[in-house]
Amino acid sequence: MARLRDQVAVVTDASGGLGSRIAVALAREGSAVIVHYPRHAEAAEAVVRTIEQAGGRATAARGDLSQPDEAAAVIAAAGTAFGRLDILVNNGGATHHGPVLRMKDEDWRAVIATNLTSSFYCIRAALREFLRQRRGRIINIASPAQPGTVGQGNYVAAKAGIIGLTRAVAREVASRGITVNAIAPGFVAAGMTAEMTAEMTTRYLDRIPLGRLGTADDVAAAVVFLAGADAGYLTGQVLNVDGGMIMH
């Protein structure tokens, strides 16, 4: 039986990579999906077609989530298309590497906006619906990089902020039946990590007890779990989907 039957999800940055696999996994379990995309309409429509060809329901929604009005419009698209909203997955991510001393102002602002501010705007918009129905699931994609990674001060700050935001919101809305959790993927062969060289991959494998890179489907399965009824007593948590790398 589909675990998310008749539910509706918004997945941000879902036109490719990790986001597309999350969207497909949620749809496979019965959820209708808003496939958000910031730029590439063709890629988003391809995800929608994949879901529909498998018998699911989906529609694409464009928006710059760093703008509060556009974020609210993407969240509202769930109600317009499918009549409700049950699940929000904040999946947006961007990096602009460089040491802090030489980091450009625009690189700092862009990464904070994409990784943290956009999540805040989407959460704020979704909570209006969740508080009304006294139920909802918010799942934020964080990172194991928050203890500190050289050359990624902006990214690390943003993802650490995601974890802090997750816990603050979880505490604020727990009494209303809303859960808020984060997933910290390790080195997953999708999205930004897919661009690693063979040398980098070998180096990182030495830090992963399970001895392999993760897959987008590993992370998507964790999202489905946190979105479902079996995770109803989990909130304010960070689930490390990293092959045990956190133990290194």
Residue range 207-225, pLDDT digits in tens? 889 988 899 999 999 999 9
Residues in the chain: 248
- The whole-number average pLDDT for the span 113-123 is 96
**H or E element in which residue 166 lies:** helix 153-173
Least confident of 41-45, 47-51, 104-108, 227-231: 104-108
Could you give the C-alpha distances from 64 to 67, 100, 113, 176, 242, in angstroms and in order? 6, 26, 10, 29, 29
52: pLDDT strictly greater than 90: yes
Please give the average per-residue pLDDT across 9-21, as a whole number: 96
Q: Which amino acid is at 87?
A: I
Give yes or no: 121 in active site: no
pTM of the model: 0.93
CA-based nearest residue to 113, from 72, 147, 65? 65
Check: CB of residue 240 under 8 Å from CB of residue 186: yes
* Marked catalytic residue, from 37, 121, 155, 204: 155
